[in-house]
Structure 1
Amino acid sequence: MAQFSVRDAKIHLSKLIADALQGGDVVITRGSVPVVRLVPVAPGGQRRFGTLKGKIAVDARFDEPLPENELGGWNLT
């Protein structure tokens, strides 16, 4: 994770944007406290399928019905 002060971020904003677009983790700090993370915006708000491939897993029990004690918390009407 690359951290930059607000002052440095102002000076190097174009480079930081390029880094974030390439997948870099860019964090802007005030003093030594991280306050903002610079992340790219998906074009047109469109989702890109496969971006979480290998990062998450679905348990084999995913499609099984919920137990009665958990169903009680859902408003299914």
Structure 2
Amino acid sequence: MNMVALAEAKAKLSQLVDGAQDGVETVIAKHGRPVAKLVPFSRPKAQRIGAMKGRLVVPDDFDQPLAEDELALFEGKL
């Protein structure tokens, strides 16, 4: 990991970005104190659509009304 002063980072930003593309992390310091880090960008892995296809079973009566006693339990009336 490289550490560069803010003024140097301003002057060499293009080179630092090229380094980040190659996997180099750079800490940018102001008055000798680290204030920022330039790191390679990585895209988050998105969840695949349909990844659970065939693994979940929805019963045929899924959308049928609840029985009176089950509805009362659900609504907190018992």
Matched, 1:39 2:39: yes
CA drift at 1:40: 2.6
Q: After the TM superposition, which parts of structure 1 deviate over 4 Å for at least 4 consecutive aligned residues?
A: none
CA drift at 1:32: 1.1
Structure 2 CA distance, aligned partners of 1:10 and 1:2?
15
RMSD: 1.3
2:9 and 2:16 in contact (8 A); partners too: yes
Equivalent residue runs for 1:1-77 within 5 Å: 1-42=1-42, 45-47=43-45
Q: Deviations over 1:12-51 (max 9, x none)?
A: 0000001111111211000111110002323xx443xxxx
Percent sequence identity over matched residues?
A: 33
2:25 and 2:40 in contact (8 A); partners too: no
Q: What is the TM-score with the length of structure 1 in the denominator?
A: 0.52
Structure 1 CA distance, aligned partners of 2:18 and 2:3?
15
What are structure 2's unaligned runs of at least 5 residues?
46-78
What are structure 1's unaligned runs of at least 5 residues?
48-77
Q: Deviations over 1:54-74 (max 9, x none)?
A: xxxxxxxxxxxxxxxxxxxxx
